Chains A and B, each alone.
Chain A
Amino acid sequence: GIQVEQSPPDLILQEGANSTLRCNFSDSVNNLQWFHQNPWGQLINLFYIPSGTKQNGRLSATTVATERYSLLYISSSQTTDSGVYFCAGSNTGNQFYFGTGTSLTVIP
């Protein structure tokens, strides 16, 4: 299967700070998603981004498919951004492989 490496594993930010989360894949993927798992355990879809750049409010994501990585940018972080961020990818279309996540804590 595909190995997915996420960095950093842990991140502590002051409210208002910016951050970049990274996801590297061991093989090419044609389906890539970012998720946020909130402190209550819910998995929330952030981006479906197999290539290119997308923005949604304070969050944006960029995937460079040819180099097998994706970046998630969080600007002006808020305490509600706390939680774990996962990326997941697939190249067969059926099996998705997840990273172990980046745990983000935003302190007021």
Chain B
Amino acid sequence: DAGITQSPRHKVTETGTPVTLRCHQTENHRYMYWYRQDPGHGLRLIHYSYGVKDTDKGEVSDGYSVSRSKTEDFLLTLESATSSQTSVYFCAIRDRGGGTGELFFGEGSRLTVL
């Protein structure tokens, strides 16, 4: 199993509160990703990182920010959570960029925004 730990695994919060999800890896992989999964949409990329302090936006980045201060940790922050951000969030890692390298996923974090 890829060494990926997501926390918290479940969270219920209220609209307008800040939320931070953490992804921790023990594989020393360069690339890390945050996806959200919603019914009818599959998985959609929120943000990704290609190194410490190097991040870029994905297709659904509005309302989210990320930070990566260490190789092993990638944080996803919802500054002011909304009900539309209720979803299951998956972190993924990959060792190589370009046209090679497999994605491996964490176990997911279920977020409910009331």
The size bracket of the interface on B is 20 to 34
User: Which of B17-25, B36-44, B68-76 lies on the face that meets chain A?
Assistant: B36-44
A31 neighbours in B (Cβ, 8 Å)? 99-101
B44 neighbours in A (Cβ, 8 Å)? 98
Tell me if A94 and B48 are in contact (CB < 8 A).
yes
Number of A-B contacts (CB under 8 A): 56
**Interface mask (B98-110 → A, CB under 8 Å = 1, otherwise 0):** 1111111101100
In the complex, A100 Cα to B108 Cα: how many Å? 17
Tell me if A93 and B99 are in contact (CB < 8 A).
yes
* CB within 8 Å of B: which A56-95 residues: 86, 88, 90-91, 93-95
* CB within 8 Å of A: which B65-114 residues: 88, 90, 97-105, 107-108
Contact A33-B102, Cβ < 8 Å, known A95-B58, A98-B43, A99-B42: yes
Tell me if B103 and A33 are in contact (CB < 8 A).
yes
The size bracket of the interface on A is 20 to 34
**Closest Cβ of chain B: how far from A61's Cβ, in Å?**
13
Which residues does A use to contact B, with CB under 8 Å?
A: 1, 4, 30-31, 33, 35, 41-43, 45, 48, 50, 86, 88, 90-91, 93-101
7 contacts between A and B (CB under 8 A): A33-B102, A45-B102, A86-B42, A88-B43, A98-B42, A100-B41, A100-B42
A-B pairs with lowest CB-CB distance, top 4? A30-B99, A43-B105, A98-B42, A93-B98
